[in-house]
Amino acid sequence: MISIAIPSSALINEKDEKIKAYKVGQIARAAAIFRVGEIIIYRDPKLDESDFIADLLEYLETPQYLRRHLIPIKPSLRHAGVLPPLRIPSHAPKDLKIGEVREGIIRKVGPEGTAWVDIGVNALALLKGVKKKSGARVTVRVCSKKPLVVEEGKPAGYWGYKVKKVELEDLLHRNVVVASRKGSMPGLEEITSLEDHVLVFGSPQEGVHEIASRLGVEINARCWNIIPKQGVKTVRLEEAVTAALAIINFLKGGME
């Protein structure tokens, strides 16, 4: 599964926090549409808004019925109302179906590993054999509706993305591909061979290599120009993310 990495200075050109939130929402939507498994925020000292970006990304990924339990009220979420809903499979509706997988939060824990889980319906679901504490997020499968009983389960397909904050150096231990207009056009085989790779993007003001040079980090990785012959002076970060993921998804999808 592909991951993407964006700098903590991704929103450096924006002053309005509402616009910043909207742009983070666009990146989250692109990630969800093209089944990104992880969104990584690497620290750029020029502007470190890692927490702000991560808060918005995590808020969007969390099912609506769990947000009040898992996400505290904080200033970074002041403009959460402008964020587009992801509607990923983990954001299940209230209509419950036996056999479906849902996200939940453990509300109470009883003796011998018995727990009661909020899965977004009026009643709490009984979950046995759990080793997690109250307040933990769990993925469960609905066994019965009356009584409401669940068991720990795994989703069959794409379920959403994880969010991680790292130093740029931390990315060098993974399979990295840098997205840059200074790179070369990748071949079909190069794109279709991507599997557990991180596609790294720069900020609106600097490319990845410029940021790395400023931080004293040497990056020896493939560098791809995924938008050759661009018709505008600059491609915005959210546009570059969407374009790159769309091309990779289309080409890899045609080979599956």
Q: What is the mean pLDDT of residues 175-187?
A: 91
The pLDDT of residue 254 is: 53
Tokens of 226: 């995924």
Residue 31 reports pLDDT greater than 80:
yes
**Do the beta carbons of residue 198 and residue 3 sit within 8 Å?**
yes
Nearest to 9 by CA among 256, 237, 251, 239: 237
From CA 155, how far away is CA 223, in angstroms rounded?
Answer: 34
100-158 tens-digit pLDDT: 999 999 999 987 779 999 999 989 999 998 888 899 999 999 999 999 999 999 998 99
**Does 195 have pLDDT greater than 80?**
yes
Q: What is the pTM of this model?
A: 0.93
For residues 38-56, average pLDDT: 98
Q: For residue 43, what pLDDT band results from cuts at 50, 70 and 90?
A: very high
Q: How confident is the model at residue 231 (pLDDT cuts 50, 70, 90)?
A: very high
Work out the average pLDDT over 160-179: 94
User: Residue 45, Cβ neighbours under 10 Å: how many?
Assistant: 10
Q: Using an 8 Å Cβ cutoff, are 247 and 215 in contact?
A: no
The answer to whether residues 38 and 162 touch, using CB atoms and an 8 Å cutoff, is yes
Residue, of 110 and 8, whose pLDDT is higher: 8
Helices (H) and strands (E) in the chain, counts: 6, 11
Does position 256 have pLDDT exceeding 70, yes or no? no
Q: Return the pLDDT at 182.
A: 87
pLDDT (tens digit, 9 = 90+) per residue, 58-96?
999 999 999 999 999 999 999 999 999 999 999 988 889
CA 5 to chain CA mean position, Å? 10
Confidence category of residue 4, pLDDT binned at 50, 70, 90:
very high
> How many Cα atoms occupy the beta-carbon half-sphere of 58 within 13 Å?
20
Q: Does residue 200 register a pLDDT over 90?
A: yes
Domains of the chain: 3-86+160-255 (3.40.1280.10), 101-152 (2.40.50.140)
Q: Work out the end-to-end distance of the chain between its first and last CA atoms, rounded to an integer number of angstroms.
A: 14
User: How does residue 234 score in pLDDT terms, banded at 50, 70 and 90?
Assistant: confident
* CA pair distance 124, 81, nearest whole angstrom: 28
* pLDDT value of residue 252: 85
Can you tell me the distance from the alpha carbon of 54 to that of 161, in angstroms, rounded to the nearest whole number? 12
Q: pLDDT value at position 44?
A: 97
CA dihedral 20, 23, 27, 29 (to 10 degrees): 120
Q: Which residues pair with 163 in a beta bridge?
A: 39
